């Protein structure tokens, strides 16, 4: 999952970004409204955390411009304002949630998980591909009922592959969704992590799930023998 944080207070933005990355999210940040709108238009985000009091372009105006551009990413608004009218204004625009600063990071994580669950059209907390199961609530992954320990980045990569099961995903697509905007696409990091997953997911199983498509990328599908 890739998240955009639009927050002009750099310390707050960097704190949120660091915490979300520790949870396995890919995170980009913008420190003013114009930069935030540019990233929202040029990137593909699963969720946007949007401060309202922004320089150059305020949060409400940014939100309106996003929707005009048909950018439908879920939005959680962050602001120091706590008046009911401000919350109502944000929600009336179509924001998915609203948090008043200061807030506990654990609560922010819970709100993010809740919004992302709503985004999932199936509304399920689990993703299954054949005998591979991922629990999005507990971050638990099992194959044939046996738990597979994964790092946060391995979990994010596997989640992206499972959500796109049967479809080829390119290295560019993976870098955009699992890593952040500063990712160096000329490194072999993605291939390294794919191998980590293969060793953990496919080793010891007759039916392999993670496959390389030469010249294109990777696909997660059942390869029945």
The predicted pLDDT at position 181 comes to 65
Consecutive 10-residue runs of the chain (225 residues): their mean pLDDT? 91 90 87 95 90 91 92 88 71 84 88 80 72 87 92 90 89 80 76 93 90 90 68
| CA-based nearest residue to 78, from 57, 56, 108, 41 | 108
In terms of domains, do 82 and 137 share one?
A: no
Count of beta carbons in the 10 Å neighbourhood of residue 82: 10
**Residue 59 to residue 51: CA distance in whole angstroms:** 6
Domain boundary among 72, 89, 119: 119
Domain boundary among 119, 148, 173: 119
The predicted pLDDT at position 122 comes to 47
Q: Tell me the pLDDT tens digit for each residue of 158-186.
A: 999 998 888 898 888 888 788 766 677 67
Domain boundary among 119, 134, 149: 119
Write down the residue that tokens 């993010």 correspond to. Answer: 112
CATH code (residue 170): 1.10.10.10
In terms of domains, do 15 and 113 share one?
A: yes
The predicted pLDDT at position 141 comes to 94
Q: Left (φ > 0), alpha (ψ -120 to 50) or beta: where does 56 sit?
A: left
CB 46 within 8 A of CB 116: yes
* Domain membership of residue 111 as a residue range: 2-119
Q: Angle at CA 219, nearest 5°, toward 212 and 151?
A: 90
The predicted pLDDT at position 124 comes to 59
| CA-based nearest residue to 8, from 39, 34, 32 | 32
In terms of domains, do 35 and 92 share one?
A: yes
CATH code (residue 114): 3.40.50.2300
| CA-based nearest residue to 51, from 21, 22, 11, 106 | 11
Question: What's the distance, Cα to Cα, between the start and end of the chain in Å?
Answer: 32
In terms of domains, do 141 and 65 share one?
A: no
| CA-based nearest residue to 162, from 142, 176, 145 | 142
Domain count across the chain: 2
pTM beyond 0.75, yes or no: no
């Amino acid at each position: 999952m890739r998240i955009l944080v639009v927050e002009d207070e750099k310390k707050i933005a960097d704190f949120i970004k660091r915490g979300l990355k520790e949870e396995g999210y890919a995170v980009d940040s913008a420190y003013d409204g114009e930069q935030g709108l540019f990233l929202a238009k040029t990137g593909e985000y699963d969720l946007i955390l949007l401060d309202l009091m922004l320089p150059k372009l305020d949060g409400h105006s940014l939100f309106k411009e996003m929707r005009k551009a048909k950018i439908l990413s879920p939005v959680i608004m962050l602001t120091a304002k706590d008046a009911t009218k401000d919350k109502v204004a944000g929600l009336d625009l179509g924001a998915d949630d609203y948090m008043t600063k200061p807030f506990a990071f654990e609560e922010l994580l819970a709100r993010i998980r809740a919004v992302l669950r709503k985004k999932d059209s199936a509304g399920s907390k689990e993703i299954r591909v054949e005998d591979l199961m991922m629990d999005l609530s507990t971050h638990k992954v099992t194959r044939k009922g046996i738990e597979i320990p994964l790092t946060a980045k391995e979990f994010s990569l596997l989640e992206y592959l499972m959500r796109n099961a049967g479809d080829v995903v390119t290295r560019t697509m993976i870098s955009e969704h699992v890593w952040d905007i500063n990712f160096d696409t000329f490194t072999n990091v993605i291939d390294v992590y794919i191998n980590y997953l293969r060793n953990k997911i496919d080793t010891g199983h007759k039916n392999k799930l993670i496959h390389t498509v030469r010249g294109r990328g990777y696909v997660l599908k059942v390869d029945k023998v």
